[in-house]
Structure 1
Amino acid sequence: MDEKEEDLGPFDPSIPAEGPSAPPAGWLDDVHGYESHKGGEEDSPLYPPPPAYNPQPELDRNTSVPNVRVPTVSEDVARGALLKFVESKWRYSSKPARNLTFKELKPITVYRYRLETYTETRTSGWKFEPYNGQMVDGPQFGMSPAPWDIPMALPRTFTDKVEKIRVPHSSSVKTCHMCSGCGRTLCVSCHGRGQKRCISCHGKGHRMQHGNHRGSSGSTRCSSCHGRGRKRCISCHGQGFKTCSVCHGCKNLLHFIQLTVTWKNNVEDFIPDRQPDFPDKKFEKVTGDPFFVDNSVLVYPIQGFPDQEICDVSRRMINEHLQRFTSTNRILQQRQTIELVPLTHAHYTYSGKDYSFFVYGVENEVFAAKYPSACSIL
């Protein structure tokens, strides 16, 4: 032990050190239907029971897709879109966009297939709050309902939402596991002594002072601790303890099971990669024309569409979503959509050289890998 340790004073043995941040295993009673929770802070998944009936895709539904006409853009629209694009690039001159000569505006057929699977997930876990005499909705009022029997108001379909509620009749009052019901815990900074050794003089109360150029030296009283060798602990303000950070001095905690219900729209898109000069990621930020929308509890793969790759992707995605979501989630609705995303390849000449750019999306965005002028001075 350090020679100055005894100068820091004794600590109060009645004040407990901090306990675990979460209740230890076995601290809380089991609640029927929620036995997987042992007091930890992490929520546990609650697998949905098998449905009263197994919904099946409706085989007699018309999943054939009508033929559509590829949209085209005029020269005025293409020029206007390019001018808007150039204005967003401070290094580009608008002169080429105003004076270019179009050679060809080539519309390209681009389909985007989208599958949406709207799911409901339920998880639960033990939570607690300081007990101040509030009502305790415990098992004396009845048995807690099963996790998937608790009614919840459904949000608008295909919109994400999270709601948290207390499971009825799951509450109980327990002694605080952090402070063992004391309401306060030992200050870990000063180990309950209320004071700490002065770091300026290392607890000696004085500091060595170097003298003049002749080499004389001596000691002087430490100005930081005023010669005491110790200072008041600023963490606990000299008390040696702190109010319990878990129960806030209430000594008891109200424990309850919190049910978390998550509605999520799981969306997956696919666009065939057939334009090597156009980056497909550009399609993510634009919209198309949804000429085919199929909505049901479970949708059936697309059939008879002219683009066979779309049919194949529809079947693959639907099967993957069923495998991914049926065990841990409850599927509430599915929707599959085919959009025609406008894409036009504009070829033009300027100053005797050939260039091109793409106009894409209903928004008429522009992608240009090359532009005639990168000069900021017109």
Structure 2
Amino acid sequence: MMNSAAMYPPLFAPAANIPGYGDYNVSGGYLPPPMPTEPIAPQPGSIPSDWSIPALTEDEARHAFKDFVSSHCCYSSSPADDGVITAMEPHNTYRYRLETFTEARSTDWAHKPYEGEVADHNPQQAPQPWTVHATPPNLFTDHTQEIRLPFTSIVKDCHTCVATGKEQCDACKGSGHKSCSVCNGSGKNTDGDCTNCSARGKVKCSDCKGEGMKDCKTCKGTRRLLAYIQLKVEWKNHVEDYTGDQNPVLKSDKLRSANGKELYKNNQFLLYPLIGFPNPAMAQASERLIKDHQSKFSQTSRILQQRQTVELIPITKVVYAWKGKSHFYVVYGNNNKVSDDDYPATCCCTIL
């Protein structure tokens, strides 16, 4: 066989020698997907007409407050037990979530230790990246698959060890020995000469058995590599949420983590924005995000499916009277969490 080191550069083969990749930069990043033969327009989904929001009852608010207080060792239960609810103000909001599931493809040169495989580089044209079959995962699931492109593999000398199969031992820097750990390289200890190193201050390197060289990590000592064009297929679910303006009674960090109740879900190849939604800002966010996703991700990937979800985040400000003063707490989320940053009956306690 002809010396591959003379044919190809040290690290990888030139694309000009791979039929079908002559004018193609193999390491050129993500590859734009082929355009569909006919553009596919999104279709409007069925939007429910009833967006009614169930109100929180006083019993539910009181029970949530008692659970909240009992989880804090320094909170007295008196406000929760004796406080009288005087008002309940709804501050409910919605969370819109858009998911765009894409498939992206890129190529790069890869190599592995040569183990006698047949190099299939020949005059037959290698398949283009978007024509190679790849099995996708479940929808809206991230996954990566690497595929060796047929008719692109060659055998070449290892560029790391220059086809010697050996490289310098990292542990001893090629010397074949290391400092004695018993005497710290002095050759002496409290009893006189160090017996571990025979008073030499150094011992044979156990990593390379005193040779100063080890098998090359790149070729595993085989001296040669199988180099090929590797196709990387990446499926990714791009998720973006919108919860609107700052809620007047709930901090933004708690609003973002709030457990919502799903009211609407729709998935299609390409989505149509919300129509008839009672909150104009939410409908506008839907239109903006869908347009942005379809424009941005179609440049470097293939959009396989989109999904939009609307969740209700119940938020109720509960005003109560205790010891002649008015206080409030906030019950939020589908699981009735409580937020109260100014609880009126706390004490100092020490955990032993």
TM-score, normalization: structure 2? 0.81
**In the alignment, which residue of structure 1 is the partner of 2:137?**
155
Distance 2:74 2:119 in 1: 67
Q: Encode CA deviations 1:61-80: one digit per residue, 9 max, x unaligned.
A: 35655242122111221122
Note if 1:108 corresponds to 2:95.
no
2:229 alignment partner AA: I
Note if 1:136 corresponds to 2:118.
yes
2:80 alignment partner AA: A
**Contact 1:63–1:302 under 8 Å retained in 2:** no
**Contact 2:187–2:199 under 8 Å retained in 1:** yes
Note if 1:24 corresponds to 2:7.
no
Change in CA separation of 1:70 and 1:186 when aligned onto 2, cut-off 3 Å: closer
**In the alignment, which residue of structure 2 is the partner of 1:308?**
280
Q: Which moved more, 1:101-110 or 1:28-37?
A: 28-37
Distance 1:33 1:277 in 2: 60
Q: Encode CA deviations 1:254-295: one digit per residue, 9 max, x unaligned.
A: 223332222122111111225233113323333323323332
Percentage of identical aligned residues: 37
2:272 alignment partner AA: Y
Q: Secondary structure at the match of 1:363?
A: coil
Note if 1:49 corresponds to 2:31.
no
**In the alignment, which residue of structure 2 is the partner of 1:81?**
64
Change in CA separation of 1:222 and 1:73 when aligned onto 2, cut-off 3 Å: closer
Distance 2:80 2:187 in 1: 81
Note if 1:362 corresponds to 2:312.
no
**In the alignment, which residue of structure 2 is the partner of 1:263?**
235
Q: Secondary structure at the match of 1:139?
A: coil
Alpha-carbon offset, residue 223 of structure 1 = 8.6
**Contact 1:70–1:107 under 8 Å retained in 2:** no
Distance 1:89 1:71 in 2: 29
**In the alignment, which residue of structure 2 is the partner of 1:8?**
none
Alpha-carbon offset, residue 172 of structure 1 = 2.1
**Contact 2:12–2:227 under 8 Å retained in 1:** no
Q: Encode CA deviations 1:217-254: one digit per residue, 9 max, x unaligned.
A: xxx99999767697655664331322212111111112
Note if 1:92 corresponds to 2:72.
no
1:102 alignment partner AA: I
**Contact 2:95–2:310 under 8 Å retained in 1:** yes
Alpha-carbon offset, residue 356 of structure 1 = 1.1
**Contact 2:13–2:227 under 8 Å retained in 1:** no
Alpha-carbon offset, residue 114 of structure 1 = 1.6
Note if 1:286 corresponds to 2:273.
no
**In the alignment, which residue of structure 2 is the partner of 1:6?**
none
Of 194, 219, 236, which aligns to 1:247? 219
Alpha-carbon offset, residue 145 of structure 1 = 1.8
1:345 alignment partner AA: K
**Contact 1:290–1:338 under 8 Å retained in 2:** yes
**Contact 1:137–1:168 under 8 Å retained in 2:** no
Distance 1:337 1:321 in 2: 15
Change in CA separation of 1:374 and 1:23 when aligned onto 2, cut-off 3 Å: farther
Distance 1:273 1:224 in 2: 72
Q: Which moved more, 1:323-332 or 1:152-161?
A: 152-161
Distance 2:255 2:19 in 1: 50
**Contact 1:349–1:355 under 8 Å retained in 2:** yes
Of 123, 140, 161, which aligns to 2:106? 123
1:173 alignment partner AA: V
Distance 1:151 1:189 in 2: 44
Q: Secondary structure at the match of 1:103?
A: strand
**In the alignment, which residue of structure 2 is the partner of 1:18?**
none
1:104 alignment partner AA: A
**In the alignment, which residue of structure 2 is the partner of 1:9?**
none
Change in CA separation of 1:365 and 1:242 when aligned onto 2, cut-off 3 Å: same
Q: Secondary structure at the match of 1:165?
A: strand
Unaligned 5+ segments in structure 2 are 1-8
2:143 alignment partner AA: K
Distance 2:230 2:314 in 1: 48
Of 140, 151, 161, which aligns to 1:169? 151
**In the alignment, which residue of structure 1 is the partner of 2:297?**
325
